[in-house]
């Protein structure tokens, strides 16, 4: 599946930056950044965040932060932006990504 030692790993996800639309696409982990890439209503959006940009990562509680009722990973940046990411293929994937990002944040 994914290789994290300085390499790319891609995951199918649905994501949004509230209060914006939900994008169907991917989350790509690279050695020093992550990329959210997706489309909504025919429009493509790409967001690149370096690990140094991230202030925190956590699993969403119940409520508005959950995408379509799915388990959702919340990424918060030092600049105050928030991204909500739901895996297309299950909760285990989100926990794996959360663990990798938490380690990257701790080392920055």
Predicted TM-score (pTM) of this structure: 0.85
The whole-angstrom separation of Cα 37 and Cα 11 is 10
Number of domains the chain is built from? 1
Domain that holds residue 98: 9-106
3, part of any domain: no
Instruction: Report helix, strand or coil for 89.
Output: coil
For the segment 27-85, what is each residue's pLDDT rounded down to a tens digit?
999 989 999 999 999 999 999 999 999 999 999 887 777 888 888 999 999 999 999 99
CATH number of the domain to which 60 belongs: 2.30.29.30
């Amino acid at each position: 599946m994914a290789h994290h030692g300085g390499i790319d790993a891609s995951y199918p996800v649905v994501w949004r930056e509230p209060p914006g639309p939900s994008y169907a696409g991917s989350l790509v982990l690279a050695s020093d950044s992550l990329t959210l890439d997706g489309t909504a209503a025919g429009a493509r959006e790409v967001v690149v965040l370096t690990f140094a940009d991230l202030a925190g990562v956590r699993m969403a509680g119940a409520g508005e932060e959950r995408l379509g009722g799915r388990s959702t990973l919340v990424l918060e940046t030092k600049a105050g932006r928030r991204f909500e990411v739901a895996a297309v293929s299950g909760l285990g994937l989100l926990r794996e990504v959360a663990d990798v990002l938490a380690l990257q944040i701790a080392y920055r």
